[in-house]
Structures are given as C-alpha cells and as structure tokens.
Structure 1
Amino acid sequence: MRQQDMNRDWIATAATLSQALPYMQRYAGATVVIKLGGHAMGSDDAMEEFARDVVLMQQVGVNPVIVHGGGPMINDMLEKLAIKSAFVDGKRVTDTATVEVVEMVLSGKVNKRIVQAIARQGGRAVGLSGKDARLMVCEQDVPELGLVGTPTDVDPTILRTLFDANTIPVIAPLGAGRNGETLNVNGDTAAGAIAAALTADRLLLLTDVSGVKDKDGNVVTEMTPDQIAAMTADGTIAGGMIPKTRTALDAIAGGVRAVVILDGRAPNACLLELFTDHGAGSLIRTAR
C-alpha cells in the first residue's frame, strides 16, 4: 500500500473515532445485553471480530453481558451420541438425556469458546449459566416439552459483581427449576429476561437477517410496540421473527430502554448500532 493511501486510511480512522465520541459518552456506564447466535457462533473469524468489539465496548465504559445460543452444536452432539429426539408441534422434547447434552455443549464447549475469544482480545470474561448463583429460576410452562423452562425469577446480583470486577459475563441459557433440576431455556427469552432484570439500556438480538422487514422487504429501522402488534396481526411479521419481536416487547415492558434486532453477519454490527448515527437493524422502543 502506498504511503498516501495509508495516510488516508489513518485519517479516516481518526475521524471515525472522533465522530464516535458523543456516542461513547452516551453509553458510558450503560448496560448492554447481547444475544449471540447465528453466523458469529459458527465462524472463527466472526467470533474473533465479535470478541474484539465487545472488549472495545467495555474499554469505553459499557457493561456488556453476552447470552449465547448453540442449537447447531447441540444437534451435532446429539447425532454423534445417537440420542434421538421426539418432537411436539415441531419443538424438541428435552428429556433427561437431552438436557445433559445441552448443558455439556452450552456450558462447556460453546461458553468457553466465547470466553477464550474475549481473552485473546485482551478482555476478561467469566462463563456461567443461569443455574449459577440462582441467576435464573424457571418454571416448566409446557410439561409435554419436558425439561424446558421460562424464567420467572432473575437475580442479577452476580452480574453486577462481575461489572465491578471489570469482567464480562458470558451466560449459557440454562435455568434451575424450583426443585433444582436443570431446564433448557430459549436463548432470546433468557437474554430478554436478564436484560429486564438489569434494566438494561439496550438488548441487541444478533440474527442472520438484517432486521424486521415491511411488506416490501425493506428493513424498518425504528418501530414501536404498537407497530409490531399491527405488523404481526396482518402477517407482515411471521415465522421466526415472531418470537424475536415478542422477546423485544417483553423486555421493553420489563424496563429495557430499547431493543435492536440486527444482522450479526454484518462487520462490527454492535459497534455500528451503538457508536454511529447510522445504527444497524431495527430499533424497537416505546413512542417518545
């Protein structure tokens, strides 16, 4: 690369940092919960980029919390172990053998991979699950699905302790039942419940789509709960976007300031959302 081109790149980088200053000041001390899933979970390069972004967020004063999924990894392990699953209305029944694999994969392989990626970028992270320190106590709302839970009591004390220690929590979506049993929890649901318990400033739901789209296929960059209700009623919001928008509405009702559904495949998606005027994805909040 020629020296002139290098100088131009450095000037552009400095200008970007300068323009980001008001946003860095805006989010200093804020709590941002990130649901990590999709592309960033499967690609090593994407994982490293995500980890670097999270460490940068913390460096400028944000308190990031990561809640991760791991469905494809769970499916792979169940297949390797020849554990067959039953399904009810298309949803997997989580029996004792299955939940043992879920816990092994989520709390073990997946969780530690994220923790290690953050460490490689110079950050400090601790992996835990919703079972630790009674972070998430859950109820079995649909008994026919087996050991699947919905958070009913979320105690974020351990997370605030980690904030004070300048440490990033990385949380596997498992909860404890009333009798101490391990329950599998949907990752988006867990992230929303934790964000509400922390009264987070932002909940970022990373997906493999660019956001909520209107009837013409265009991403709606800002939405209210009323708009989501109308778009769901007329079928514009459908399929896998319904549970994500439902998580967003529940989180906002629980005290989260805003929720963003954004494309985790986009480079530096979290930084674009937080620290630029452009933003990324679909921002959902109550009307001002």
Structure 2
Amino acid sequence: MNSIFHYSILQYHHSQALGEVLNIGVLLWFPEQHQVIFRYPSRLSRISKLYPSFPEKTIRSYFRGITAKTQQLNKQPDIFIKYEQRPRLFLDHEILIRDSSALQFSDVKTAVLYTDDLAAISDQFYRLYLSFYDQQEEYRIPHDESYLVKEFQKRLRQRLNGVSLREAFEHPLTIKPEGTNFSYKFPFAWQNGTYNLVKPVSFDLKLEESIHEKATFNFGQFSFLQPYANEHNARFDLLVARPKDKNLYSAYDDALQQIESVPKVKIVEEDELDSYSEKTAEALR
C-alpha cells in the first residue's frame, strides 16, 4: 500500500463579504515519516501594495509561531500516530485553532507519496500555491500628475521646435474665486477661442475606492469653478491617466463619465496627448 501525506493551505480572508481569499502558506505533514513542513513566502510586498491595510507584522508573527510548532512536532513521533486517521484534528489542535478570525487553514487534502524526498515535495507545493510572491515585478513608472505634465511639456516642446516652456510651467496659474478662500492651480493655460486651463488628473491608482474618491473631488471642484469658466470663457482641459490594473478600468470609465458631466470640462487621455499638444502648439505659434 502506498504511503500518503496531507496538506492544507494557510489563507488570509481579506474580505469575508467579497470572498477575497489570499494564499499565504502551505502546510504538509507525512504521518509515516513523522514529519511536518510549513512553507511561506519571505516577501509579502505584493499583497501590501494591493491591500494597504494588510497586517503584515501580525501575519509574520503567525509564520514564526507555526514554524516553531512544526519544529516541536517533528520531535514527537507519537503525535502523528495519535492523529493518523484524523488529519483535520491534527491541524486544529496542534497547529492553528479554527475560529472566526481572518487567518484560516483550508480543508485538508490527501495525496499519495510519490517520492521519498519530502523537501522536493514541499518545493513543488510552494511553487504551485505561492510562486506568485517570488515573481519579479515589472517596473513601471507611475503615471501620476507629474508624469502627465512632463509628457505634455515634452510633446509641446517638440512641436515648437525646441522652444523652452520652462518658465511657463514653473509659474502655474492660480485661480481664486471671488468671495471664497479657495485657490486652484493649473500648470499651464493657452488661448484658442476659449481660455484653456490645463490640469493633470491621474487615476493610476491601486484601489477602486481611491478612483471614486478622486472623481468625486474633481467633480466638485469643477462644478464650483463654473462661474469662473462662464465669466472668462474658459474650459478645463484634464490630462488623464488610466489605472495600470485592468480590473479597475470599469471604475475608471465611471470616473470619467462623472467628471465629463460637468460643463466646460474636456478629458484628454494619454493616447490623445499627441493630438492635443499639436493643437496647443498651433495656437501658440
């Protein structure tokens, strides 16, 4: 009869309501060999970037505790005999108590021992469930407000045959609506029938909530500036960057629709920077 082993995935339930579950560890135990192995990623930066509220320090303390427990169990062969027919109880009683907290082990699964090299098995299961953490992250310059302004300025300079625009961009236009204490800065303005006030608005963000909040803020700001736009025949040209995460595209589209509903607002997305800078250069020549 072939030997067997059991395994279970340590999971962090980030949101019970939304069903967001993150695999953060894998536990394997081998009853006949009286061995238990716990593997976990050394780097958790990817989760921390996706979920700023992720309790990394707390999770790492659990990693240390479970590792210490497995080291103790590997010195107690009788423990494996005690739970030989009850692998779930082994997990609940000896490794991590099952409760309503966010950190839980998945259901126990059983597999046939296909090699005597237990380390090789643990390596394979680590790659299967946790290799995500060790993949090299593709570096990408964040397309924030500063990036948008620099890209617009670069394209504008090219079309104006190298004419320096540094002074214009280093002295942003400040608008102070009458009767208020508010002030709004625009890094550039140009005239072409209308007075076009240029402002970068980046949605290259990590969270859907952040996109919604930023859209609401800009909706309120440009609604408030409508009297200024009417008085000065002005238009607000927003240089916009979309999020890197494709899962946020829907939230991004909703954000643009909300802002575009305000009169006197023109959206200029990144792929429109060339044509927009060409129109601007024609007006400035």
Structure 1 length-normalised TM = 0.24
Structure 2 length-normalised TM = 0.24
Which structure exhibits the higher relative contact order, with contacts defined as CA atoms closer than 8 Å and separated by 6 or more residues?
Answer: 1
Structure with the greater alpha carbon radius of gyration: 2
